[in-house]
Amino acid sequence: MSGNVQLLNDTLAAAKSEGRAALIAYLPAGFPTVDGGIEAVKAALDGGADVVEVGLPHSDPVLDGPVIQTADGIALRGGVRIADVMRTVREAHAATGKPILVMTYWNPIDRYGVERFTAELAEAGGAGCILPDLPVQESALWREHADKHGLATVFVVAPSSKDARLAEITAAGSGFVYAASLMGVTGTRESVGAQAEDLVRRTRATTDTPVCVGLGVSNAAQAAEVAGFADGVIVGSAFVKRMLDAPDDAAGIEGVRALAADLAKGVRGQA
């Protein structure tokens, strides 16, 4: 069975044709529970997200800040497994018809088996993977299997990336390019900053693949700012914080839905 890279491409192209950036939400699988996590992903999509990244909880993250680390810890203590991540993708995609990616560090895939992971993600209806710690020069095996199964390979670029490095990364990736707006880990911030706009400009000079910006966006005004220069706006910690701060799971899920609706206005210039 083929994955949904084409659905991802079409979704990003449709947002562009509407003259707006896409809204991409991030939520970890298994948080607050596996079932609760699935409902949260569906709520983000129902609220207005175009795409969701489902995080594969990891005990030793390099990109995730304290908010997502807290949620990952809850999921890991709850016994979340890769099978639960695949179930999250399957049920959320089946319920909404929207593209779902997995964001994961390389070690779990390496241990699980690249062929097994890509085949199962495609079978679940997944659109691809974001791989923040897989170096492009070591990615040939992954890309071979991802291409075979119709999955996007999304790499992360940073403000420190030199132009030649950007060209190398964008030539190998597909779906979209994840532009980290600043050096550091995920988390909400007061401003996203000029670094992000410069990184998008430099990245676009190397590729026609959409460039989506993450790290720091937490409200509609920031989403509108980033939507002014990027093809997509990625929001993670703000969604997770809604869940963590809620008095119960149901309230958290409604908080995710409400935030998605607010951010959707932002990317449409209606904030």
Tokens coding 137: 């020069």
CA distance 175 to 43: 23
Set 50, 53, 91, 262: catalytic member: 53
Query: Does 123 participate in catalysis according to the annotation?
Result: no
CA distance 30 to 85: 7
CA distance 174 to 155: 8
Tokens coding 171: 């030539």
Query: Does 53 participate in catalysis according to the annotation?
Result: yes
List of residues 6+ apart from 233 with CB closer than 8 A: 21, 22, 23, 24, 212, 213, 214, 217, 223, 226, 227, 263, 266, 267
List of residues 6+ apart from 205 with CB closer than 8 A: 163, 166
Cα-Cα-Cα-Cα torsion 37, 100, 126, 27, nearest 10 degrees, comes to -30
- Partners of 179 in the β-ladder: 157, 213
Set 18, 35, 46, 64: catalytic member: 64
Active site residues: 53, 64
